[in-house]
Amino acid sequence: MPNAAAWQGRRVFLTGHTGFKGGWLAHWLHSLGAEVHGYALAPSTTPNLFEVAGVQAVCAGHTLADVRDAAAVNAALHAAQPDVVFHLAAQPLVRTSYHEPLGTFSTNVMGTAHVLEAARACSSVRAVVVVTTDKCYQEQPGWPWPYRETDPLGGHDPYSASKACTELVAASYRSAFQFTERGVGLATVRAGNVIGGGDWTPERLVPDLLAACSAGQVVTLRQPHAVRPWQHVLEPLAGYITLAERLLAEPARFARAWNFGPDAAQCQPVLALVQGLQALARADGIAVPEARIEAPPAALHEAAALRLDASQAQQQLGWQGRLTLPEALALSWRWHAAWRARADMACVTRRQIADYAAAQLPSL
C-alpha cells in the first residue's frame, strides 16, 4: 500500500481530476498528505463524482482547461511546481472513438505530448506517471495468455490505437530527452476494466448496469461472453501511487511500462459481472429482469478477451490486487446505495479508501 510518509507536503499535478479515476486518485493523494493541483475539462455527466464526492475541496489548485491547449497545460503545470505528475486526462471510450477519431487522437496523443513537454521544462518534476490502458496491446485472436509489458502495442479501434501511440510518445520522451539521466522517473501504467462508485460515464457497462439495476430495468448486452480484467478502481490506483513513490526514489530502476491487472479469477465474461450486480440489487429488494442480449453493430469491433500479466508489479513493487470480483461489485454497489440514500459521499469515498488501505472487507 502507499506510504503516507512519502506524500506529506508532496506537490502533485493531476490531469483528469474531474473524471472517475482522477477523482478517486485526488481523494487518496489528499488523504496521504499531498497537495493536489488538478487540471481537466469540466465533468462530462450529471451527476458526476467530482461534484458528488466534493473532489474540488481536496484540491489546492483546480484548473478547467483542455490538454490539447499546450500553453494552458504549460502554465498550469509551472504554476503548480509539482514533484509528481499523474496524467489521466483522456478520451476514454472505445465506441466514442469510432464517432470522434480525430478528437480521440488529438486528446490522447497530443494531449500527452503537451503534458510531457511541460513536465520536461519544469525543474521541480521528479516523477511522471502516464495512464494508458489494457487495450494498448495489439490484439491477438485466440491468444491464450495474458498480455505482458513486452508484448507488441497496437489497436484496432481509434481509442486503442491512440493509447498505443501514447505509450510510444512516453517512451520517446523518456529516451530522447534523457528523463532518467536527469533524475526524472517517467513510467506508463496499463490497468484493466475499472469499476467503482461514482462512475456515470455513458455507454460503459457498469454505469449503465448500476442505473438499470437501481431502477429494476432490463439490461441489454452487446458482448455477454467478452472476457475483461475487472477490478475496483482502488486496485490500480494503489499501484500508480506506489509506482510514483519508487520513481521518486529510484527513477532509473522503475521508469518503464507496468501492468496493474487482476489475477485470472477476476477476468470474467460480461455476463458474470451482470449477474453479480443483479444479485446485489435483488438482495436489496429490487426486482431486476433478466438481461437481454442483442447482436453488436458489425462495424464496431471490440476485443473478445483481454487479460493482463501483472507479475512484474507483483514481484518488483509488491503490488497485489486485494479484492475478488464479488467484493469489488459489492463495494461499487454500496457506494451507489449510499448516494441514493443521500449520504455524505466525500465521507463515504474516504472511508472506502481507508478500509481498502487497511485491508478490510468492503463496508460502509
Per-residue 3-state assignment (H helix, E strand, C coil) for 191-233: ECEEECCCCCCCCCHHHHHHHHHHHCCCCEECCCCCEEEEEEC
Work out the mean pLDDT of the chain and round it to a whole number.
Answer: 92
CB 313 within 8 A of CB 319: yes
Q: How far is CA 344 from the centre of its chain?
A: 23
pTM: 0.94
| pLDDT band at residue 196 using 50, 70 and 90 as cut-offs | very high
63 contacts 76 by C-beta, under 8 angstroms: yes
ω before 47 within 30° of 0 (cis)?
yes
DSSP 78-118: HHH--SEEEE--S---HHHHHH-HHHHHIIIIIHHHHHHHH
pLDDT at 304 over 60: no
pLDDT digits (tens, 9 = 90+) for 244-261: 999 999 999 999 999 999
For residue 189 the three cell numbers come to 501504467
341-357 mean pLDDT: 97
Residue ranges of the domains in the chain?
A: 10-296+305-358
Q: What is the mean pLDDT of residues 327-336?
A: 94
pLDDT at 297 over 80: no
Position 221 scores a pLDDT of: 82
Give me the percent of the chain exceeding a pLDDT of 70. 95
Q: What's the pLDDT at 364?
A: 39
**Could you say which architecture CATH assigns to the domain 10-296+305-358?**
3-Layer(aba) Sandwich (3.40)
